[in-house]
Amino acid sequence: MEILIFKIVVIILLIRVIVLSVSHLIIVFCEEATKMAVEELLKNPAKYIRDEHIGTFFTNMIWVMIFISLLIAAFKGNVIIS
């Protein structure tokens, strides 16, 4: 059951990374999207900075949870490297 949960979490994280990467590339290469992003940033720069940092914080917390889970599994002997 645990490996199923792990697989689901990894798949969700992979999809999230792909979607975020595509959206960033759209903003970089599409002129209209770039203008929209700049206008949104200039409307309220403080909100933009807060949103960026809270997003980064939550992403980091996801990685911390994954690393803690892997460490616990390693110390319990549930991880086998062949």
| Tens-digit pLDDT profile for residues 39-61 | 988 999 998 888 888 888 988 88
> Which pLDDT score is estimated for 24?
84
**Largest separation between any pair of C-alpha atoms in the chain:** 54
pLDDT bin (cut points 50, 70, 90) of residue 35 is very high
DSSP 7-53: HHHHHHHHHHHHHHHHHHHHHHH-HHHHHHHHHHHHH-HHHHHHHHH
Name the pTM for this structure: 0.54
Task: Fill in the DSSP letter of residue 4.
Answer: H
Asked if 15 and 8 count as a contact pair (C-beta separation under 8 A), the reply is no
